[in-house]
């Protein structure tokens, strides 16, 4: 699922925690057509197709294996 705000991502991770389908990874990327910064959220039940999308530019992982990465590591708490 693609969302526009990190607050939505945080909410999704919290909502899915402890369920049979937790969030497996989150990617930040730029949409090629709009130039918007977006977040792609993948649960354990979803195939991560971030590399297959023609509109994804410069994707990088910001959440994986239950931990925030890079500039978002302050959210590990």
Q: What percent of the chain is modeled with pLDDT above 70?
A: 100
β strands within the chain, DSSP E: 2-3, 23-31, 37-43, 56-64, 67-68
| 53-66 average pLDDT score | 96
What are the structure tokens assigned to 28, written together? 């930040």
Contact 25, 48 (CB under 8 A): yes
Nearest of 7, 71, 77, 69 to residue 39 by alpha carbon: 7
With 90 as the cut, is the pLDDT of residue 34 above it?
yes
pLDDT at 77: 81
**Sign (positive/negative) of CA torsion 22, 60, 46, 35?**
positive
With 90 as the cut, is the pLDDT of residue 68 above it?
yes
Q: What is the mean pLDDT of the chain?
A: 96
């Amino acid at each position: 699922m693609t969302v526009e705000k990190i607050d939505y991502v945080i909410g999704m991770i919290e909502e899915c925690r402890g369920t049979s389908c937790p969030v497996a990874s989150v990617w930040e990327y730029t949409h090629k057509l709009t130039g918007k910064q977006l977040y792609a959220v993948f649960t354990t039940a979803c195939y991560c197709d971030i590399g297959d999308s023609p509109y994804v530019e410069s994707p990088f992982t910001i959440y994986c294996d239950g931990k925030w990465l890079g500039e978002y590591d302050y959210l590990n708490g």
